[in-house]
Structure 1
């Protein structure tokens, strides 16, 4: 199974993406959590084209990507897990926990450091939050994030299959976390003890800075609880809360060109 997944990753990744976005898209239409404020078609087209643009450009600007760096570390026996030689299932589990914790802290730092926030705020400038918001990031942020991930993979000696599984799960979870779907409150309360739910992450996209600077987790919710960044609910409630950033409120800011230039405009 491991060899099959690694050999067919170029087919598996887009297939999982399409299945998840189709499933979550239908769920959003049938059971929305919050009324959208912007035309969905315009946002979807621009957000998805932005995602495609980033996906096509990234391989041309980096000499190596995440899975390739894991192969490189494995071949040279670099990194902690390659030295420990622990069973693959345990290594996969530990690796995904470490990478998820890394994503939490990376996300938090991108909020704290002003020039990194200028990049990350492209993601927060979306005035609605749904599945397409989950992959709406400026290319420079994605590029920097990939180098951070590559560094961690080499330092810890994360296996190629663990990297592949993590990236598939992370992308699927990002779409789930950003989705505009209704979950029963009891279900949400149960799930968020361990994983980030749409209601939990929606707080993070609030227009209020004190709410934006909370709930940084992408997959596991435990990091926010452990590192004192958890906020349970938005103060205005999910139906009335305002999403986005105060400096980018015009509808034209949702176009690809405006998203590309947002880090270099305004304060």
Structure 2
């Protein structure tokens, strides 16, 4: 993670955590200490592994200096190149998210993120290291093909981490402000629907930064059927609070039952 991205990451994490404390959207149902310890530890582990294997910024610099990639082959004003690259990156992340909900093998990795029994700022960081490795590989390929400006990569890295913490936050935002915000960004209420235990709600609202892709591709769902106060967070097959520990989270893709959540499974 670049220095500006790290500073932004820590600042946003602290801001959302304080917001959750002062104005929580939902009451927690499990031990915050256990969840935070597991979620933050697995985040550190995944980050350490990925940064040792895939230096995205270095790949971006190489593509930029070698004039490799689509954007390096066409003339566009620099600010427009940056904006276009960020937009395309976000579309790719949306597509990747849909893919991880569609293919049973990929869902096994991603379901660790959804198995959290509550949703808060740390849920936005909680991904299995193998999923993070695959995700980073996709980003490296995207950088090589698109040839984005280095600034676009830094901006997108900050956006992706920042909005993930924001839209997973258990924070109260008035309905009116939320309605306006979700025209330009994925809000906590919008993304919380995606963490519903109900399958059709889990398989909706895949966007991380911008809300437009869900509306464009028909995966947008405005509200959970039970309402935010009564909706159940997590997955139907994983309701044991004792399984929130780090060893269980790491083993989940290999021992857990994916259920009927993957979209490519024939529903019965």
Q: When the two structures are superposed, what TM-score results if normalisation uses the length of structure 1?
A: 0.94
Correspondence for 1:4: none
Say yes or no: does 1:105 pair with 2:95. yes
Do the aligned residues in 2 keep the contact of 1:68 with 1:160 (CA within 8 Å)? no
Correspondence for 2:40: 48
Say yes or no: does 1:152 pair with 2:142. yes
Say yes or no: does 1:187 pair with 2:177. yes
**TM-superposition CA deviations, 1:139-171 (whole Å, max 9, x none):** 011100111111111111112111011001110
Say yes or no: does 1:59 pair with 2:51. yes
**TM-superposition CA deviations, 1:169-222 (whole Å, max 9, x none):** 110000000000000000001111221000000000000000000000000000
Correspondence for 2:167: 177
- Point out the structure with the larger helix share: 1
In the alignment, the residues of structure 2 paired with residue 165 and residue 91 of structure 1 have an alpha-carbon distance, to the nearest angstrom, of 12
Correspondence for 2:29: 37
Instruction: Report the 3-state secondary structure (helix = DSSP H, G, I; strand = E; otherwise coil) of the residue aligned with 1:73.
Output: helix
Correspondence for 1:23: 15
Instruction: Report the 3-state secondary structure (helix = DSSP H, G, I; strand = E; otherwise coil) of the residue aligned with 1:143.
Output: helix
Equivalent in 3, 18, 25 of residue 11 of structure 1: 3
Number of equivalent positions: 257
Do the aligned residues in 1 keep the contact of 2:108 with 2:256 (CA within 8 Å)? no
Shift of 1:134: 0.3
Correspondence for 1:76: 66
Shift of 1:11: 2.6
Instruction: Report the 3-state secondary structure (helix = DSSP H, G, I; strand = E; otherwise coil) of the residue aligned with 1:240.
Output: coil
In the alignment, the residues of structure 1 paired with residue 256 and residue 151 of structure 2 have an alpha-carbon distance, to the nearest angstrom, of 42
In the alignment, the residues of structure 2 paired with residue 156 and residue 17 of structure 1 have an alpha-carbon distance, to the nearest angstrom, of 25
- Gap regions ≥5 residues in structure 1: 1-8
Do the aligned residues in 2 keep the contact of 1:71 with 1:160 (CA within 8 Å)? yes
